[in-house]
C-alpha cells in the first residue's frame, strides 16, 4: 500500500512537471522577440551565416517539436545554455543549488523554531503576553514585503537566512496557532485536564497526534514559501543561489534558464509536498 | 463591526481619499525635477524631501499610493472573475470537469508564486512605456492569482451542486445556465467577495516585491514597489528616516487590511 502511494505520487509529479514544462515552453515560444537573435546584427556575418543561424532555429517554431527537443536533450543531461551568462544551465544549477539549499534550509529551521516556540508557549501557558507577542510579530512580518525584509537585513548586516526565517515565520505561526487552539478546545482535552493529566502529557499524547498530520503538511508547504522568498533575499543580499540566478535571468530575459529554474523549483516543491503526504501515511494510526 | 475594524476601514478610506487628491495636494506632479535641490531633507516646499534626481518624495508617495491602491483591486477583480469561471463553473458541472479544473489549479499552486510572477514578467517585454508597465504588472497579478480562489470556489460550488435547494430547483425544471445564474451564483457571492478582498493585500505585496526587484512599474511612474526600491541605497535607518515613510504607510495599510479581513480568512 505504501509503495502504491509512493508510485502514485511519483506519477503525479512526473505528469505535473511535464505539463508545467510544456506550459513554460509555450510561454518561451510565444514570448515577444523569441524569433530574433542579436547575433544576426553582427556586421561580420555573411548572408549565408545569418541564413544558417535561422535554419538552426527552424525546429523551434513548432511548440511541440521545441518541447520534444528540450525533453530529449534534458534526458541526456543537457538543459541548454544560458543566453545571458553563456554557461550550460546544468553547470549553473549545480553551482547555485547548494547556496539556496543552505540559506533556505537554515531559514526554514529558524522559522519553525520561532513559530512553534511561540505557538506552543501560547497554548501551554495561556498568558496574554505570549498571545500578544505572537500576533504582533506575525502580523508585522506579514505586512512587510519579502524584498523589504531582505533590504532591512542588508542594512542591519544580518545574514540572509534570517530574512527567509522572518518571511516564513508568520505563515507557520498563524496556521499552527490555529491548529493548536482548535485541538486544545476539544472536549477530550478538557476531560484530560479535569482528570489531572500534566500539560506535557496532554501535548504529547492528545494534541500532537491530532495536529501532527496537518503540521507535516504545513512543513511541505513551507518549503515552497522559503524557495519563493529566496528570490528577493538572494538578489538583494548578494547570495549566489538559485533565487539570484532567477532574478538575473528575468532581468536579462534569459528564458531557457528561467524555465529550467521554474521547473526545478516546482519539482522540489512537489517532492516536499509528496514527502509530507507519504510521511503522514506512514505515521497514521494503524487499525487493529 | 468591532471598533478595530471600523478604525481599519477609516484608515484605508482616508489613505485612498488622500491619494485621490494628489493632483491638489501635490500639484507639481510625480515627475517634476527640482534640480537645484536633489536629495534634499524635508522642508516646507518638500514635505518628505526630494530623491536623488530632485523629484518631490511626498508627491511621488501620493501618486504611487493611488496607483497601488487602485490597481490592486482591479487585479483582484480580474483574478476573482477567472476563479469564478474556472472553479465556480467546474464545481457546478462536477465530474471530469471538476477533476480537470482541480488538476490545473494544483499545477498552478505548485509553482512558487514569485518564481511564476518573474517568469511570466520576463516573457513579456521589459523596455515598455511606464503606462504599459503598470498594465502588464497588474494584469499579470490578476491573470496568475486566480488559483487559490478557484480552489475555494470549486469546493463551494461542488457543495452547492449537491445541496437540497439545487436538487429541488432541478426537479422543478431549472437547469443549465439558468440554474447556475439564478440559484448557484447568488449563493457563491459571499465566497467571491471574500476572495476578492483577500486578494487585494496579496497583490499589493506582490507588486511591491516586483517593484523592488526592478520588474514592476517602470520609471518615472511611482508605485509602492518603486518607492520602496529607494531603501536599497540606505546605509542606516538613522541617516534619512523620512525615506522610510512609504514603508510605514504600506505597513499601516496592510495592517488595516489584515484587521478588516480577519473574519473573512477565518470563515
**Does residue B264 register a pLDDT over 60?**
no
Q: Which residues in chain B have Cβ-Cβ distances shorter than 8 Å to A30?
A: 123
One pLDDT digit (tens) per residue for chain A, 288 residues: 778 878 888 887 888 777 777 777 777 666 666 666 666 677 777 777 777 777 766 656 666 777 777 778 777 878 778 877 888 888 999 999 999 999 999 999 999 999 999 998 888 887 888 888 888 888 889 999 999 999 999 989 999 999 999 999 999 999 999 999 888 888 988 898 888 888 888 888 888 888 888 899 899 889 989 998 999 999 999 999 999 999 988 888 787 788 788 888 888 888 888 888 888 888 777 655
Q: Residue A253, SS3?
A: coil
Q: How far is A27 from chain B (nearest CA, A)?
A: 7
Q: In chain B, which residue's Cα lies nearest the Cα of A16?
A: B107
Q: Which three cell numbers stand for residue B80?
A: 476573482
Signed CA dihedral, A128, A133, A136, A142: sign only? negative
> What are B38-76's pLDDT values in tens digits?
888 999 888 899 988 899 999 999 999 999 998 999 999
CA–CA separation, A41 and A45 (whole Å): 8
Residue A144 gets the label, from left (phi > 0), alpha (psi -120 to 50) or beta, of: beta
ipTM of predicted assembly, 2 dp: 0.86
Give whole-number Cα distances, A60 to A34, A261, B26, in Å.
Answer: 10, 20, 52
Q: How far is A225 from chain B (nearest CA, A)?
A: 7
pLDDT at B17: 94
**Does residue B249 register a pLDDT over 90?**
yes
User: What CATH number belongs to B3-266?
Assistant: 1.10.3720.10
pLDDT at B267: 45
Residue among A31, A255, A262 minimizing CB distance to B111: A262
- Inter-chain contact A232–B212, Cβ cutoff 8 Å? yes
Whether A204 contacts chain B with CB within 8 A: no
Give whole-number Cα distances, B128 to A38, B124, B133, B217, B220, in Å.
Answer: 19, 9, 6, 10, 12
Residue among A30, A147, A265 minimizing CB distance to B213: A147
**Does residue B125 register a pLDDT over 90?**
no
Q: How far is A194 from chain B (nearest CA, A)?
A: 29
Whether B245 contacts chain A with CB within 8 A: no
pTM, to two decimals: 0.85
CA–CA separation, B174 and B180 (whole Å): 9
Q: How far is A196 from chain B (nearest CA, A)?
A: 32
- Residue B253's pLDDT band, with cuts at 50, 70 and 90, is very high
Whether B100 contacts chain A with CB within 8 A: no
Whether B74 contacts chain A with CB within 8 A: no
Q: Which three cell numbers stand for residue B151?
A: 480552489
> What are B141-194's pLDDT values in tens digits?
998 889 889 989 988 888 888 888 888 988 888 888 888 888 888 899 999 999
pLDDT at A121: 87
Whether B247 contacts chain A with CB within 8 A: yes
pLDDT at A38: 63
Q: Which residues in chain B have Cβ-Cβ distances shorter than 8 Å to A226?
A: none
Amino acid at each position: 500500500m505504501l509503495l502504491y502511494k509512493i508510485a502514485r505520487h511519483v506519477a503525479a509529479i512526473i505528469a505535473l512537471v511535464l505539463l508545467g514544462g510544456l506550459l513554460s515552453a509555450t510561454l518561451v515560444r510565444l514570448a515577444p522577440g523569441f524569433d530574433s537573435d542579436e547575433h544576426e546584427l553582427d556586421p561580420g556575418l555573411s548572408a549565408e551565416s545569418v541564413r544558417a543561424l535561422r535554419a538552426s532555429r527552424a525546429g523551434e517554431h513548432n511548440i511541440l517539436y521545441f518541447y520534444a527537443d528540450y525533453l530529449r536533450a534534458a534526458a541526456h543531461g543537457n538543459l541548454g545554455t544560458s543566453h545571458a551568462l553563456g554557461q550550460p544551465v546544468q553547470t549553473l544549477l549545480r553551482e547555485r543549488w547548494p547556496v539556496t539549499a543552505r540559506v533556505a534550509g537554515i531559514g526554514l529551521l529558524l522559522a519553525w523554531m520561532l513559530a512553534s516556540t511561540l505557538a506552543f508557549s501560547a497554548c501551554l501557558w495561556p498568558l496574554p503576553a505570549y498571545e500578544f507577542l505572537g500576533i504582533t510579530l506575525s502580523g508585522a512580518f506579514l505586512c512587510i514585503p519579502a524584498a523589504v525584509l531582505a533590504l532591512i537585513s542588508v542594512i542591519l548586516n544580518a545574514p540572509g537566512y534570517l530574512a527567509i526565517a522572518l518571511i516564513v515565520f508568520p505563515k507557520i505561526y498563524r496556521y499552527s496557532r490555529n491548529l493548536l487552539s482548535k485541538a486544545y478546545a476539544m472536549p477530550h482535552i478538557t476531560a484530560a485536564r479535569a482528570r489531572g493529566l500534566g500539560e506535557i502529557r496532554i501535548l504529547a499524547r492528545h494534541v500532537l497526534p491530532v495536529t501532527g498530520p496537518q503540521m507535516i503538511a504545513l512543513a511541505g508547504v513551507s518549503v515552497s514559501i522559503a524557495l519563493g522568498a529566496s528570490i528577493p533575499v538572494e538578489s538583494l543580499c548578494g547570495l549566489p543561489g538559485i533565487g539570484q540566478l532567477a532574478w538575473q535571468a528575468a532581468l536579462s530575459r534569459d528564458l531557457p534558464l528561467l524555465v529550467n529554474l521554474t521547473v526545478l523549483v516546482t519539482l522540489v516543491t512537489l517532492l516536499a509536498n509528496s514527502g509530507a503526504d507519504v510521511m503522514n501515511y506512514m505515521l497514521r494510526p494503524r487499525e487493529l | 463591526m468591532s471598533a478595530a475594524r471600523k478604525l481599519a476601514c477609516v484608515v484605508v478610506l482616508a489613505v485612498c481619499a488622500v491619494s485621490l487628491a494628489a493632483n491638489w495636494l501635490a500639484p507639481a506632479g510625480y515627475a517634476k525635477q527640482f534640480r537645484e535641490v536633489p536629495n534634499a531633507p524635508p522642508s516646507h516646499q518638500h514635505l518628505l524631501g526630494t530623491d536623488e534626481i530632485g523629484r518631490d518624495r511626498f508627491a511621488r508617495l501620493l501618486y504611487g499610493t493611488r496607483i497601488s491602491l487602485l490597481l490592486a483591486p482591479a487585479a483582484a477583480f480580474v483574478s476573482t472573475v477567472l476563479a469564478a469561471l474556472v472553479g465556480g463553473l467546474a464545481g457546478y458541472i462536477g465530474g471530469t470537469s471538476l477533476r480537470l479544473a482541480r488538476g490545473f489549479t494544483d499545477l498552478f499552486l505548485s509553482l512558487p508564486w514569485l518564481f511564476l510572477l518573474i517568469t511570466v514578467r520576463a516573457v513579456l517585454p521589459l523596455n515598455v512605456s511606464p503606462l504599459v508597465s503598470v498594465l502588464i504588472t497588474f494584469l499579470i497579478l490578476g491573470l496568475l492569482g486566480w488559483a487559490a480562489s478557484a480552489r475555494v470556489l470549486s469546493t463551494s460550488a461542488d457543495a452547492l451542486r449537491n445541496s437540497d435547494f439545487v436538487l429541488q430547483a432541478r426537479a422543478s425544471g431549472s437547469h443549465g445556465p439558468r440554474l447556475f445564474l439564478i440559484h448557484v451564483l447568488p449563493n457563491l457571492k459571499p465566497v467571491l467577495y471574500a476572495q476578492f478582498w483577500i486578494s487585494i493585500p496579496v497583490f499589493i505585496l506582490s507588486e511591491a516585491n516586483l517593484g523592488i526587484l526592478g520588474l514592476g512599474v517602470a520609471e518615472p511612474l511611482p508605485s509602492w514597489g518603486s518607492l520602496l526600491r529607494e531603501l536599497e541605497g540606505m546605509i542606516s535607518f538613522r541617516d534619512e528616516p523620512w525615506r522610510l515613510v512609504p514603508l510605514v504607510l504600506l505597513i499601516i495599510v496592510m495592517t488595516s487590511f489584515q484587521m478588516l479581513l480577519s473574519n473573512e480568512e477565518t470563515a
